[in-house]
Structure 1
Amino acid sequence: MRLIEDALVGDSLAARYVCAAPALIGNVSTRMAVLDCAGQQVPVSINDGGERADNCYVVSPLTAYTGYADEELRRLDRPLLAWPLHRLISAVSALLRCARIDRIVQINNWLLSTNLYPADWPGEQLEEMTASLRQRFPDHVLCLRSLNRHSNAELIDRLLDLGYLAIPSRQVYLFDGREGERAAFRRRHNSRMDAILLRRSPYQVVTGDDLEDADFQRLEQLYNLLYLDKYCVLNPHYSAEWIRRGQRDGWLQLRVLRTDEGRIDGVVGWFANAQIISAPLVGYDTALPQRAGLYRQLTQLCLQEAARRRVLLNFSSGAAGFKRLRGGEAQIEYSLVYVAHLGWARRLVWRVLATLLHGIGVPLMRTLKL
């Protein structure tokens, strides 16, 4: 096992990604490396803390657990609940800053909302990986994001056995497409209605291979309209060039909704491995009437792709009611962190954070169906 930090060259997907992608995400400040475990390479993000106040949650747990949580509360429109939780988040934020929570090494971090893990990764090298990174980064937290019990139960248990802490992060929605056209979500009323809508749609479904360079600026605009303007500015600021390189290098597979006149009104981009597909890039023209059903059509494209590949779709968080109506199964997502090598005060802060999120965060996610 080795960590490659200098002269990042190579033909692996991780090496190509690390060489180009991070600089093309507007609100991400980090340095990247490639971790090679028995020939399987994954990207690693390395942060020393203090890079920028608004660093994106894909590299900053401070943003993930305080800034982003605060934004979620603002959108709840429940002031009697939001006020005490906002005060709690402010207090927790001060505590986390003192504990240098952003001094962190995140393994298999693709700078996406959802990282995917190969089924057998990292094999028998998990303990060696932890020991090696602990020695290389004696003052950094070690972290693996985006783990849930449905997809990663064995890896979670092995990490817990090695002394990692499970920190709840959010509730995600999974669609099991392993039965293909007989998948349960295909039989849901809303899914069937969405399939009819897509089939009768005036839009053409175009693949990324058929796009011109100028089209990628429109894709960036559509993503921004949904994820930054409508949802939260703390989401990753993916640029047109990031999208274009993803399509070119093969780690992002695009489908767009295009009118007969050539205008693109919707886009979805898939990131996948042999077992799971995710959709880190979704966007549409939010100024168009809701009856156009653009989000419904993009969702249906994702469900159809999961059934076609016979894989699991991890459809991330958000739009919970919409996803539940289409058969999405809720799962709590965790970050597994290793802090045993740190000073007692920093270890204590992480344990307090875990206790708060297990005791307050998870029940709220389930009760409010976030």
Structure 2
Amino acid sequence: MQLGRQIQLNNWLVSTNILPPVGPEAWLDAFDAVSDSNPSFVPVLRSVNDAAHGPLIEAFHREGLTLLPVRKIFFRTYPEDWHRTRDDQRDVRLRSTGRFIERAGTTFGESDFDQAARLYRMLYIEKYSHLNPQYTGRFFEEFQNQCGFELTGLFDPERGGSMVGVLGQFDQHGTIVSPVVGYDTDLPQKLGLYRWLISLSDATARSRQRFANWSAGAEQFKRNRGAQPAIEYLVADLRRASRSQRLAGRILSRMLQLAARAAMRL
């Protein structure tokens, strides 16, 4: 049994999953079922964070699961977090100019889905990391039609009405995530495409009064817009692993916990 050979529970094929509102017993039953049917694989659960899932994390710890901090994420909670920062206000003013036209993904044709995938690739793959999920236009189309994924495109009247930005969101169980953000990185930064897309994401969470998981990265940008940090964990079930593997898991967990606490102080 190796951590690299894993089966991920609740995997929606995005960087940040939303956990359904079930208690720890249901998750433990799922871990047991996966272990029984796939004994050579490690069952894991991603996207567990201490802002939204504190009691669940405590229960996993009591049951002997291995908690591995993997990244610092940021979040806002509506309607409690109602105030707007100065940068929030600037972003709202940017959107109020009407410089770009926002169109829901339900109006997209095949070429629009392909362009959405290209814009995502320009930012998340070519600029950030080739380890990020890689999508096709067909995937986006089916994801929207079959899984409730919400796409919105930014179209530029000054460039023949072409799509220059895209936002993809999940709204499930009182939480909103935006795992797909993309824009034409060849265009001038002064256009504020990234700011526009994040402001659109924030406006959706505000209007629906959701817990907004802003994921990781762009830390100062998110802090300037009122987001608070939290630690996200990967939960691994090593209870059936060998003694040496369980020990290695505990050591790794402790090391990452120390690193996570240091990261939260930054």
TM-score scaled by length of structure 2: 0.93
After superposition, where does 1:82-101 map in structure 2 within 5 Å? Answer: 100-101=2-3
Aligned length: 264
Match of 2:146 in 1: 249
Distance 1:238 1:169 in 2: 23
After superposition, where does 1:1-370 map in structure 2 within 5 Å? Answer: 100-119=2-21, 121=22, 124-179=25-80, 183-184=82-83, 187-260=84-157, 261-359=160-258, 361-367=259-265, 369=266
Distance 2:120 2:184 in 1: 9
3-state secondary structure, aligned to 1:300: helix
* Structure 2 unaligned blocks of 5 or more: none
Would the aligned equivalents of 2:23 and 2:56 in 1 still touch at CA under 8 Å?
no
Would the aligned equivalents of 1:257 and 1:265 in 2 still touch at CA under 8 Å?
yes
Letter in 2 for 1:255: T
Distance 2:97 2:32 in 1: 56
Shift of 1:135: 2.0
Identical-pair percentage: 31
Would the aligned equivalents of 2:110 and 2:137 in 1 still touch at CA under 8 Å?
no
Would the aligned equivalents of 1:173 and 1:328 in 2 still touch at CA under 8 Å?
yes
Q: Spell out, residue by residue over 1:50-100, the C-alpha distance to the aligned partner (whole angstroms, 9 max, x if none).
A: xxxxxxxxxxxxxxxxxxxxxxxxxxxxxxxxxxxxxxxxxxxxxxxxx73
Would the aligned equivalents of 1:258 and 1:266 in 2 still touch at CA under 8 Å?
yes
Letter in 2 for 1:107: L
3-state secondary structure, aligned to 2:52: helix
Letter in 2 for 1:174: F
Q: Spell out, residue by residue over 1:277-307, the C-alpha distance to the aligned partner (whole angstroms, 9 max, x if none).
A: 0001100011111110000000000110000
Shift of 1:313: 0.8
3-state secondary structure, aligned to 2:40: coil
Letter in 1 for 2:111: A
Shift of 1:124: 4.4
Shift of 1:365: 2.7
Q: Spell out, residue by residue over 1:167-207, the C-alpha distance to the aligned partner (whole angstroms, 9 max, x if none).
A: 1000001011234xx713xx211001100001103111100
Shift of 1:150: 1.3
Letter in 2 for 1:141: V
Shift of 1:123: 6.6
Q: Kindly tell me: are residues 192 and 109 of structure 1, through their superposed partners in 2, closer, same or farther at Cα, counting changes over 3 Å?
A: same
Q: Kindly tell me: are residues 134 and 250 of structure 1, through their superposed partners in 2, closer, same or farther at Cα, counting changes over 3 Å?
A: closer
Shift of 1:109: 1.2
Match of 1:13 in 2: none
Distance 2:96 2:147 in 1: 27
RMSD: 1.7
Shift of 1:230: 0.9
Q: Spell out, residue by residue over 1:240-279, the C-alpha distance to the aligned partner (whole angstroms, 9 max, x if none).
A: 1111111222431011110223201100000120310000
Letter in 1 for 2:20: P
Q: Kindly tell me: are residues 247 and 133 of structure 1, through their superposed partners in 2, closer, same or farther at Cα, counting changes over 3 Å?
A: closer
Structure number with the bigger relative contact order (C-alpha 8 A, sep ≥ 6) is 2
3-state secondary structure, aligned to 1:110: coil
Distance 2:247 2:199 in 1: 45
Would the aligned equivalents of 1:205 and 1:256 in 2 still touch at CA under 8 Å?
yes
3-state secondary structure, aligned to 1:150: coil
Would the aligned equivalents of 1:139 and 1:342 in 2 still touch at CA under 8 Å?
no
Would the aligned equivalents of 1:138 and 1:342 in 2 still touch at CA under 8 Å?
no
3-state secondary structure, aligned to 2:51: helix
Distance 1:188 1:170 in 2: 25
Letter in 2 for 1:100: Q
Shift of 1:149: 1.4
Would the aligned equivalents of 1:277 and 1:306 in 2 still touch at CA under 8 Å?
yes
* Structure 1 unaligned blocks of 5 or more: 1-98
Distance 1:358 1:125 in 2: 26
